[in-house]
Structure 1
Amino acid sequence: MDPFEYCQQKAAASGSSFYYSFLFLPAERRRAIMALYAFCREVDDVVDETHDLQVAQSKLDWWRGETAAIYGGTPTHPVCLALAEVRRQFNIPLEQLLEIIDGMQMDLQQTRYLDFKNLQLYCYRVASVVGLLAAEIFGYKDRQTLKYAHDLGLAFQLTNIIRDVGEDARRGRIYLPIEDLQRFNVPAKDIIEARYSDNFRALMEFQIERAERYYDQAMAQLPAVDRKSQRPGLVMAAIYRTLLREIRADGSKVLTYRTALTPVRKLWIATRTGLAG
């Protein structure tokens, strides 16, 4: 199979909101972002689908070597073959791809975060770095756009964390900072046992407000000159903010329910936002 066909199938199969934003890109940029997104899916799947920590560690180590081969060797995986081609046209530094793997590594070593500062490092590696690379692929004229991309990536990851509280807890992970749990008097046991309370709803409202602030901060930092080129990010933001507001409207029932938008609704939001571009 052609490496780019593999990447497209990997992206489409995920059902992610990100896939819909790629539809508005020229072919060469679409191929590049598909390759980057497929890379993220592959290394994320190592952590989510491999239950033996030693096996997961071995797989991540393999991915580090395979990623390095993109820049000075002979990669063998279709995703890395695709990235080896697109990196010649777009600025995709090795260090940033390895930082994404570092973020996945954190999932193998850490299941709780003391405070938001520590959580930010995780979010930076698994999401903001992806946002920065995506901004390079989409194209920009003003470097201020990189601040937008950084904060938008953080907002996306905070949205994911909010959506997946219950699912993550069942996997033994709680990304909500310990200092936040203590502030709202929500014991970790309540989250693990899916126990709702007024305190928990207040905690989630706090998390939602934090995410909304990062969306606002990101949008305020996007220069007008780059608004058209960064349209895929705006599409993603529209879909993700709609999801975040659905979670709030549902009463933050994230311990027992995973709020999701239908593919048709995602496509409608993407089309509306893309045309408004």
Structure 2
Amino acid sequence: MLNPTRAFLLGPLLKGVSRSFYLTLRVLPAGMRDPIGLAYLLARAADTIADTSLIPPEQRLALLLSLRAQVNGAADEGAFLQRMAVEVAGQQTHSDEKVLLESLGPALAVLAQLGESDRAAVREIVTTLTQGMEYDLRTFPDERSGQIVALQELADLDRYTYLVAGCVGEFWTKMTYAHMPGTLKGEPRIMLARGVRFGKALQMTNVLRDCGKDLRIGRCYLPVTLLERFGLTPQDLLVPANSLRAQPLLFELVRLSLDHFREAVEYTLAIPAFSVRLRLACLWPVMIGLETLLLLVHNDDWLDPGKVSKIQRNKVYQVMGYSLPAVASNTLVRNWAAGLIRRIEARLQA
């Protein structure tokens, strides 16, 4: 039986800070829920620290590194929790995020109660994710500086998408092997690589969807070498009227994203049809991601932060509803994904 603290952390609190992920977590097999849910909460707390713009970047970085140390077993938990309460929790305008930061003590206690292999896996994924957040804080300027810094090479973007999402697909795969041995078809090496690309597909979608908003806090994830190829600068992307001019750049990165999504589909189909819960947990983000890309390629104002390509809640429920009869059929899943990819590619070729 789940103890009350763990039940609160992995129930109401998790639901409060991520409704969409909570839906995914609920359909996971029981053994995977605790380590994956706890990893999400710790990573979300780290992300809240990294994104609290009222705190100077160097202070956020110090707090982020302190959280990473606590997750990895540092001894000064009391002093750390006091700093979090004083320096970060009071700055939060969303009550759920405030409660999350105030619940770090119990979350770290639950981490200590996990089995050794799960505890090591959670520590590893939170460490990697916080390295991605550290990369953000060290690479980009203060959000209020008025400056923009862009990544330099496509390899930098690829590395970034691994640190903040590809590693999650890797972690998810390891949890599946640990808690559902024999479930995934295919060699572990191949499935781990596909899991990485699954995560990268979702993060590339986020990068493209949120480009206009990120630019306004000084972050250009679209690399300089690619911008130059299309005759663009980060400052050009700040102008919503340049959306059509920059569309070839968008389409180039959408093509790269689709290659990742194809691997994500293969990953999903490597889960046996009888593992309905695990399949649904993978199928939903794939289809929602593809639906988002479809909106994006048809958005002639994609650089306008007021016109973000975000699918509506009723579309999410539509995806979930259609997935129930489709999930057990490889043919239906493959045809569904292929149909969306064809519609996206048709726009790329128009």
Q: TM-score, normalised by structure 1?
A: 0.87
Amino acid at match of 2:207: I
5+ long unaligned stretches in structure 2:
79-103, 141-149, 328-350
Greater mean deviation of Cα atoms: 112-121 or 82-91: 82-91
Equivalent residue for 1:132, pick from 145, 167, 170: 170
Q: Does 1:158 align with 2:207?
A: no
Superimposed CA distance per residue, residues 139-173 of structure 1 (whole angstroms, 9 cap, x where no aligned partner)? 44441321221100011110010111011111110
The alignment-based identity, stated in percent, is 21
State the alpha-carbon separation in 2 of the partners of residues 16 and 275 from structure 1: 23
Q: Identify the residue that residue 83 of structure 1 maps to in structure 2.
A: 111
Name the Cα RMSD after superposition. Answer: 2.7
Deviation at 1:57, TM superposition (A): 1.2
Greater mean deviation of Cα atoms: 240-249 or 147-156: 240-249
State the alpha-carbon separation in 2 of the partners of residues 262 and 82 from structure 1: 35
Q: Identify the residue that residue 56 of structure 1 maps to in structure 2.
A: 60
Bigger radius of gyration: 2
Amino acid at match of 1:146: L
Q: Identify the residue that residue 247 of structure 1 maps to in structure 2.
A: 296
Deviation at 1:45, TM superposition (A): 1.5
Amino acid at match of 1:61: L
Equivalent residue for 2:127, pick from 87, 90, 98: 98
Aligned residue for 2:240, secondary structure, equals: coil
- Pairing 1:152-191 to 2, within 5 Å after superposition: 152-191=198-237
Q: Identify the residue that residue 161 of structure 2 maps to in structure 1.
A: 123
Deviation at 1:201, TM superposition (A): 1.4
2:242 and 2:303 in contact (8 A); partners too = no
1:67 and 1:80 in contact (8 A); partners too = yes
5+ long unaligned stretches in structure 1:
none
Superimposed CA distance per residue, residues 183-235 of structure 1 (whole angstroms, 9 cap, x where no aligned partner)? 11122112234342433111111121211111013323556355634441222
Superimposed CA distance per residue, residues 241-272 of structure 1 (whole angstroms, 9 cap, x where no aligned partner)? 11121122223524332222233322331343
State the alpha-carbon separation in 2 of the partners of residues 130 and 268 from structure 1: 26
2:243 and 2:300 in contact (8 A); partners too = no
Q: Does 1:235 align with 2:272?
A: no
Q: Identify the residue that residue 347 of structure 2 maps to in structure 1.
A: none
Equivalent residue for 2:23, pick from 20, 32, 35: 20
- Pairing 1:139-154 to 2, within 5 Å after superposition: 139=180, 140-141=183-184, 142=186, 143=188, 144-154=190-200
State the alpha-carbon separation in 2 of the partners of residues 222 and 192 from structure 1: 37
Q: Does 1:47 align with 2:50?
A: yes
- The count of aligned residue pairs is 276
Q: Identify the residue that residue 97 of structure 2 maps to in structure 1.
A: none
Q: Does 1:109 align with 2:113?
A: no
Aligned residue for 1:186, secondary structure, equals: coil
1:4 and 1:78 in contact (8 A); partners too = no
State the alpha-carbon separation in 1 of the partners of residues 243 and 259 from structure 2: 25
| Residues 124 and 134 of structure 1, relative CA distance in 2, 3 Å threshold | same
